Structure 1
Amino acid sequence: MSENNFTVERMIAMLEERDRISPINEECDKFNIKGGDIVIDYGCGSGGYTKKISELIGESGKVYAVDIYDLAIESVRKKISKYQLTNVETVLAKNITMIKDNVADKIIAIDMFHMVKETDIFLKELHRLVKKDGTLFISIHHMSSEDVQRKILDSKLWEIKGEIDYCLKCVPIIK
């Protein structure tokens, strides 16, 4: 096993432990997810949020669980099978273009933005994916709120509408 896989496996185990002890239900309340929504859980990790979002959107909605790591995608696939989550589709981040333009009502990017190297490209891709009246929720963990806000505003693609519990609520700028 490579060192990178070992690190990813440890990260998945930590996320699964967090999901067991953390109030995911309360966390998801701030996203105002409704039945029928199409949600992209970008940086889905072990799928803790993915599972809760799947429950909130119901059969008429869809969750795209996106991550850069194969092991994370495998972890989510296990949850899909275990909990029979018929409205969840996994997507490896390098294949993100398979998701149609302007499809997402909400994009949830929790605890991952600090790892993005090319933030302009990342924010442009999220802009492509979100509906004109959609919302991006991006957490400010591991970075200052000012740094995250600057990167988002510098993209000239997003307007920040507020901050809720270490999470910026952003809407797309339509040109």
Structure 2
Amino acid sequence: MTKAKHLTKVTDINKLFLEQAINEGDIVVDATMGNGYDTKYLAHLVGENGFVYAFDVQEEALKSTKKKLEKDEITDRVELILDGHENMDKYIDKKVACVVFNLGYLPRAQHMIITKPNTTIKAIEHSLNLLKPHGIVSIAIYTGHPGGEEEKNSIYDFVENLDQNEFSVLESKFVNQINNPPQLILIEKKMEY
């Protein structure tokens, strides 16, 4: 597994945190499968004894991801689910170490199919309920498309009101990049009392 060496993209920063939060054997969730890069990355992090649940509403996302997993011979540790991330609670009944969101639209696909505030917030709520202590929800927010700014605002409204006794919320963003650089929100669940 190659570790992030540069901090030029929000995904590089995200990997620094994910590699600290995820251990071999963990159960994790890719809430927005897309083309499968995060799913594949997570499957390697959890190792042969771990498991990844990956969600997307587009059949082409599942096909693209399946090809990547087959190439690396790691299909046995991943379940690809053709459903919205807001329904993850119907598929997962175990505590998870991490839930990863990469919001927006599927690159090289229909840009009118985007993540939406109401379903994203519902999915984040489910994620927080599924997290084990010290587990992390990672949310990469892209705003350079119609609806992106609205989704960002609803996420910020939600996370700013999380109880600081239960969760730590970190914001990370590039302040000198043009063209709506993505922002990263990390939510860590604190110890249960």
Whether 2:83 is the aligned partner of 1:93: answer yes
TM alignment of 1:31-46, pairs within 5 A: 31=18, 32=20, 33-46=22-35
Deviation at 1:146, TM superposition (A): 7.2
Q: Which moved more, 1:45-54 or 1:29-38?
A: 29-38
Partner of 1:72: 61
Contact 2:32 2:56 in 1 (8 A): yes
Partner of 1:19: none
Number of residue equivalences = 153
RMSD: 3.3
Contact 1:63 1:87 in 2 (8 A): yes
Whether 2:71 is the aligned partner of 1:82: answer yes
- Provide Cα deviations, 1:61-99, integer angstroms capped at 9, x if missing partner: 111111122221122122222221121111223463121
Decide whether aligned partners of structure 1 residues 112 and 104 sit closer, same or farther in structure 2, where only a CA change above 3 A counts.
farther
Contact 1:24 1:48 in 2 (8 A): no
**With CA pairs under 8 Å and 6+ residues apart, which has the higher RCO, 1 or 2?**
2
Deviation at 1:49, TM superposition (A): 1.3
- SS of residue paired to 2:117: coil
Deviation at 1:127, TM superposition (A): 2.3
Decide whether aligned partners of structure 1 residues 61 and 76 sit closer, same or farther in structure 2, where only a CA change above 3 A counts.
same
Deviation at 1:58, TM superposition (A): 1.0
Whether 2:43 is the aligned partner of 1:51: answer no
Output the TM-score relative to the length of structure 2: 0.64
Contact 1:28 1:49 in 2 (8 A): no
Stretches of structure 1 that go unaligned for 5 or more consecutive residues are 1-21
Whether 2:95 is the aligned partner of 1:103: answer yes
Decide whether aligned partners of structure 1 residues 120 and 30 sit closer, same or farther in structure 2, where only a CA change above 3 A counts.
closer
Partner of 1:171: 188
Which ranges of 4 or more aligned residues in structure 1 deviate by more than 3 Å? 22-27, 143-146, 153-160, 172-175
Contact 2:10 2:140 in 1 (8 A): no
Deviation at 1:55, TM superposition (A): 1.3
- SS of residue paired to 1:44: coil
Output the TM-score relative to the length of structure 1: 0.70
Deviation at 1:103, TM superposition (A): 2.1
Q: Distance in 2 between matches of 1:146 and 1:47?
A: 23
- SS of residue paired to 2:53: strand
Higher fraction of helix: 1
What is the aligned-residue identity percentage?
A: 23
Deviation at 1:136, TM superposition (A): 0.5
Candidates 160, 164, 173, aligned match of 1:153: 160
Q: Distance in 1 between matches of 2:152 and 2:168?
A: 12
- Provide Cα deviations, 1:7-37, integer angstroms capped at 9, x if missing partner: xxxxxxxxxxxxxxx8967752331232222
Stretches of structure 2 that go unaligned for 5 or more consecutive residues are 1-8, 106-113, 174-182
